[in-house]
A and B are shown apart, each in its own frame.
Chain A
Amino acid sequence: MNNQIINELRTSSLAMIQAGTAEMEAVLHEAQRPASGYPELKAVQRAQTDGDICNVFNNSGYYAERIAIISITGMMMKYAHFNWSMEDLDWIVPGIDDIASLLEYAMQSDEIDGAILVFNTPGGTTQSLIRIEEVLKKRTKPVVAVVDGMCASAGMYAASLCDRIIALNKMCNVGSIGVMVQLVDYGAFYKKQGIKIIEIYPPESSEKNKAYRDAIDGKTQTMIDEVLTPLAVNFQSIVKEHRPVDESVDGVLSGKMFYAEDAIKAGLIDEIGNFDTAVAAIHGISSERKELANVM
């Protein structure tokens, strides 16, 4: 397991994107000594906070708090990808699977009591959620989601699996619980270029790509019934299961965005706070659970 994580860290985009690559290398070097268990995560955390991603927490002095700070920014994609719009990030953004590995790594470290996931994302692909959902469900330590700007759609899905959701500002934007698909029909373009595309399906494969083909033909119902609705229902049920959502609020589960104060009323987030609030929440949950052992 240890080696697997190390390898993932080595090969994932994470190792490439951070300014503090030397520190990361030091951690990885440390990590290759299996006898001492998992290495301390301070350096990884520093790489996260000192890098350009989450400058909000630069020099914040939370190393002593034994808390890993991990960012989910930008479009949530399953794997690492190039980002053409954010030049100062060395063009590569980590995939959510990489983030999930990092989180899992933190959850297994003796040096870490909990993690803060910093969200500023408009959402992303449904596939990006598979691994992080598993990690968040299997974790044994508190994880608090902090919304630093926007936490929408897939971001909300992941955040709702955390112990608490704290917005840093009342104008932070959360919600968009819902799904959509965007299809592009290049048919007319190809035709103009003199290209004809011929698709052939044997009768044994009559259902293959049917939802897509129907949609291109203008019949969107199959796509809705077979693809989108099950996803939307699953999304709603995950949020309902993990958050005290007030379903009487218009649009709360059907895609509406809310500013933080309204989001609290709708039960989408817990409070408006700051980084200290999140740290305190983690310590609070940790000590609350430890106390339980004393009363058993």
Chain B
Amino acid sequence: MKKWQKNVAAILKTMGFSREKVAAGTISAEEWKQIEEAYQKEHGTTLADDKAAGEDAADPDPEPEPEATAAQMSDEERAAIADMLGVEPAQVAQEPVAAAQQAAQAAQVARQQAAAMAAQKEPKKPVVVAAMKRANVFGGAHTATHLFGIEHELYDRSKPYNQLTGASVLTGSHRSADVEAARKDFLQLSQIVTERYAQLREAGALANLTMAALASGEGVINMAPPTAELGEYLVRRTDAIIAYFKSIPTVRGTLFPVHSNVQNGEVAISAIIGELSQGYRAGRIFKGGMEFQADKYKVDDLMFKFNFTDLVQLEKEYIGWMNRNEGSAIIKWTFIEWVLVHYGEQLIKEQNERDVIGTRVPQQNVKANPANLAADGVLRAIIRSIHQYRVLPFWGIGTYDADTMLDTVEAFADAVVEKHGNLDDLKIYLNKRHQRWYIRAYREKYGKDADFTGATATLVDLDPASIVWVPNLGLNDFFMLASEEGNIELLEDKPGEMLNFDFTTEFEGVAVKSRWKQGAHVVKAGAKYPTQADLVASNFAHQFIYVNAPMTAKALAATLDLSANTLFMIEGDTAVTSVTGYAADRVITLYAKEAGVKLNKSGAFSKIKSDFTAVAGGDYIEVYPELEDVTETIDGHEVTYTRPTGKFLELDRYVTSA
């Protein structure tokens, strides 16, 4: 059953339509219209959008990996791609048909847009001039009628929740009309913030927006559309919210650039250029080839839904925050601003972690699926490129500990230089949790060479300051990566979408929710080879990123301890009864050390699809913890929480064809 079907069925019931009436098809167009409106009110998205998304109700499968749907291109499709790229059809690699079609369509659209742009006259829009008026972004003192003296309905002191801000006492007013008014204002504010975010981003003005600049009255960003309707103060207040969100450190847009407006399945094309030059000879002698390989950007749908069951509790939290910050905070949020900031901050922090270690798995039918299993992060994007035979890891360079880290990194750097030629255009990315180990060892070994007289030339690349330290990796993530900066992108659909909160009334409380898309992608990973053997034979020739092989060796045993890593190189065929030491929010990948290694469908792995028997070394199976809801009575309250059952579900596997 699809999610939208489930939702519509629920709404039909609520609105009093019987199953018989639906089956008889006697619902009129007018009634369908009301059902659609109720749907949008209830779920914050339109029925048409949810239909298009086609999400399953209980167990939405993630988008299949591109190779899973791979099919060969027809001659016409190859010709279309070749035409778009301006090359001979023979130079276009065999790729999934869908990708090729999308590329052709994208090219068609691009051509039309280019033609339209060329034909278009200068738009008749007024020139927007940055207003140079300096005003305190936070407004002044409260007036009798408005908070901060901002004469806008959102700051009207007659509204109960604004009385909270003005007087710092509980309103005790939770009539449905008040809650409904608050809901409307919540909605208005979060939409304005999202629009403003997109506007600032488009104008390239986000970089100028900092809390410090705004607080000192130096921020002079001011652009027409939102201001035109709502007045400068409100825009400045929204800027303050955005600046606050920006002040939360994240990897998004700092370590890894963000690629916006990605719908799922958008085509990413990378070109592999062959050798071109040769000694001069007269005549028509051409050499060199260019191969284009299409890949798909993959983004997943995420959501956040939270129900404030007790508005009084929420008010108390707010007043607690007001009191705690009294006098020292540089900005006072109104109640609705505070809710946006409070929950937005938490979502940003979760997204920050997911951006690095997240992996999308089918969502389980439990109360709380882990945030890190909702979308793919950078680590997953790299593993994906290994599994797609684009990137060959250095198999000889694996995990490390505090004592061996420096030597392992040096071995890695040597290997990269051997294959790539130098490290000048690459950066080395390491786990920030291991930074102290590295610095200690580095100073101990090279203290004399790296003092204020300057590090010796050979050590520049490996100086702790030259390394990009990636936060949010687990203690047991031993990935090393060498890549051009900006080569790994984080994906999103609409900028600021995650923070476009929708608020709905839910009995005596208020529910808040948002929905967005995100993902991660390696822009240039390497040429895609059909088999592991071909990749190995290429000897890193067409590879743009370099990684180690950070798997921990593990012999299968009745009780398997998986605390050391999330990537294992397994051997043996002992049936596993139970597994210990794993995290509920990480995917575990088990690589077979050699042919014949077998993971039985029994015990902790009784829910994988079938026995996993490796045909060659490097075959792998990916699993993730099965979850269950448990309800317990604590202090007379029924509390439901989600925990792993101890069994594992299968995400993916690869077995070489025998």
Contacts and interface: CB of A to CB of B under 8 A. Distances in A.
B366 interface: no
A161 B30 CA distance: 9
Contacts of A244: 46, 48
B9 A296 contact: yes
Contact of A242 (B9, B23, B26, B33): B33
A295 B33 contact: no
A139 B30 CA distance: 8
A292 B8 contact: yes
Given A244-B48, A289-B22, A295 B29 contact: no
B19 A293 contact: yes
B50 to A, nearest CB: 12
B44 to A, nearest CB: 16
A289 B19 contact: no
Nearest to A135: B29
B28 A137 contact: yes
B340 to A, nearest CB: 25
Contacts of A143: 29
Contact of B22 (A161, A241, A242, A296): A296
B126 interface: no
A242 B23 CA distance: 24
Q: Taking each of B6, B30, B46, which has the highest tally of chain A beta carbons within 10 Å of its own beta carbon?
A: B30
B223 interface: no
B38 interface: no
A290 B26 CA distance: 11
A140 B1 CA distance: 24
Given A137-B30, A244-B48, A295 B25 contact: no
Interface string A136-152: 11111101000000000
B221 to A, nearest CB: 22
Given A242-B33, A289-B22, A295 B27 contact: no
B525 to A, nearest CB: 34
A226 to B, nearest CB: 29
A140 B27 contact: yes
A138 B28 contact: yes
Q: Taking each of B1, B12, B19, B22, which has the highest tally of chain A beta carbons within 10 Å of its own beta carbon?
A: B22
- Chain A's interface: helix, strand, loop or mixed, by majority? helix
A296 B48 contact: no
Contact of A293 (B22, B30, B48): B22
A291 interface: yes
Contacts of B369: none
A35 B316 CA distance: 70
Interface string B1-45: 100011011001100000100110111111001000000000000
A292 B5 contact: yes
B25 A138 contact: no
Contacts of A138: 28-30
Interface residues of A, number: 20
Contacts of B48: 244
Contacts of B13: 296
B205 to A, nearest CB: 21
Nearest to A161: B29
Contacts of B33: 241-242
B9 A290 contact: no
Nearest to B57: A295
A246 to B, nearest CB: 14
B10 to A, nearest CB: 9
Contacts of B26: 140
Contacts of B30: 137-138
B9 A292 contact: yes
Contacts of B12: 292, 296
A143 B28 CA distance: 12
B28 A295 contact: no
Q: Taking each of A244, A286, A289, which has the highest tally of chain B beta carbons within 10 Å of its own beta carbon?
A: A289
A282 B399 CA distance: 59
Contact of B29 (A139, A290, A296): A139
Interface in A214-244: 241-242, 244
A108 B46 CA distance: 30
Contacts of B29: 136-140, 143, 161, 163
B18 to A, nearest CB: 8
A60 to B, nearest CB: 25
Contacts of B46: 244
Contacts of B25: 140-141, 286, 289-290
Interface string B496-515: 00000000000000000000
Interface of B: 1, 5-6, 8-9, 12-13, 19, 22-23, 25-30, 33, 46, 48
23 contacts: A137-B28, A137-B29, A137-B30, A138-B29, A140-B26, A140-B28, A161-B29, A163-B29, A242-B33, A244-B46, A289-B25, A289-B27, A290-B25, A291-B5, A292-B8, A292-B9, A292-B22, A293-B23, A295-B1, A295-B6, A296-B9, A296-B12, A296-B19
Given A286-B25, A293-B19, 14 more contacts: A137-B29, A138-B28, A139-B28, A139-B29, A140-B25, A140-B26, A141-B25, A143-B29, A241-B33, A244-B48, A292-B22, A295-B6, A296-B13, A296-B22
Interchain residue pairs A-B with the least CB separation, the first 4: A293-B23, A293-B22, A296-B19, A137-B30
